[in-house]
Amino acid sequence: MPKNKHTKPIELHFWPTPNGQKIAIALEELDLPYVIHPVNITRGHQFKPEYLAISPNNKMPAIVDPDGPGGEPVSIFESGAILQYLARRTGKLRGKGKRDRLVVEQWLFWQVAGFGPMAGQAHHFRHYAPEKIQYGIDRYTKELTRLYGVLDKQLVGRDFIADKYSIADIASYPWALNWEKQGQDISAFPNVKAWLARIGARPAVIRGMAAGKDLAPQQVDLSKDNEAQKVLFGNRSKS
């Protein structure tokens, strides 16, 4: 975990999912100190009133920065918004100049609005849905294949999504790691495959992906845990 004597630790409300891992990687890359507050989403901790106070959409992750704007604490939910905040806070991983930042922001929004949600739906219908609905499996798997193709094309001649390493890469990496469970053939996307290896070799990424490793005993097999399925996939809207 990074150490910076001049900054109070950021509180990362976290569970080891792709969206949580994004933020851990960013904090490591930006050398910002942080402490993890586990939010066991398989047991409904995201619905606790104290968590809803900082993440009203009852989703994970969220952060609390004790040194927010004006030196006052600030809480932020939604992984894309958190990544933008951290990049602005440090002036890093957001692109150099207005044009570069536009590219980074476009690909960040591409991930949070398309790549991540479609990957999640493909994973759900392929592995967790109580009934095997072939239409759902085909719909989301094929759309995700299209998005992998978009990413592969963007990476032609580039080491990173937006030329320089940025929060756009950090946002997409943890989701793309799960290509096999999403029904994808990574050999069909050679540029994505090389990019995954490139990003995965970064020391800060390795540390970020290992964040919260002590939570492993609390993780469950969602395909077999009925309680976790009810919490995550049921029609629970209480706030």
pLDDT tens for 26-58 read: 999 999 999 999 999 888 889 999 999 999 999
Q: Are residues 108 and 194 in the same domain?
A: yes
CB–CB of 227/46 below 8 Å? Answer: no
Q: Are residues 61 and 17 in the same domain?
A: yes
CA–CA separation, 141 and 146 (whole Å): 9
Is residue 145 a part of any domain in this protein? Answer: yes
Q: Are residues 173 and 78 in the same domain?
A: no
Is residue 238 a part of any domain in this protein? Answer: no
Q: Residue 186: which CATH number?
A: 1.20.1050.10
Residue 178 has pLDDT above 60, yes or no: yes
CB–CB of 5/29 below 8 Å? Answer: no
Is residue 239 a part of any domain in this protein? Answer: no
Q: Are residues 168 and 125 in the same domain?
A: yes
Q: How confident is the model at residue 74 (pLDDT cuts 50, 70, 90)?
A: very high
pLDDT in tens, 197-225: 999 999 999 999 999 887 755 565 555 65
Give 162's strand partners: 164
Q: Are residues 180 and 133 in the same domain?
A: yes
The DSSP call for residue 215 is G
pLDDT at 233: 64
Is residue 1 a part of any domain in this protein? Answer: no
Residue 179 has pLDDT above 50, yes or no: yes
pLDDT in tens, 124-147: 999 888 889 999 999 999 999 999
Q: Residue 87: which CATH number?
A: 3.40.30.10
Range of the domain at 40: 10-92+206-233
Is residue 142 a part of any domain in this protein? Answer: yes
Residue 14's nearest CA partner among 69, 53, 51 is 51
pLDDT at 222: 58
Is residue 2 a part of any domain in this protein? Answer: no
Is residue 40 a part of any domain in this protein? Answer: yes
Global pTM exceeds 0.75 = yes
Mind giving me the DSSP string for 34-92?
EEEEE--GGGTGGGSHHHHTT-TT--S-EEEETT-GGG--EEEESHHHHHHHHHHHHT-
What percent of the chain lies above the pLDDT cut of 90? 79
Q: Are residues 117 and 188 in the same domain?
A: yes
**What total number of domains does the chain contain?**
2
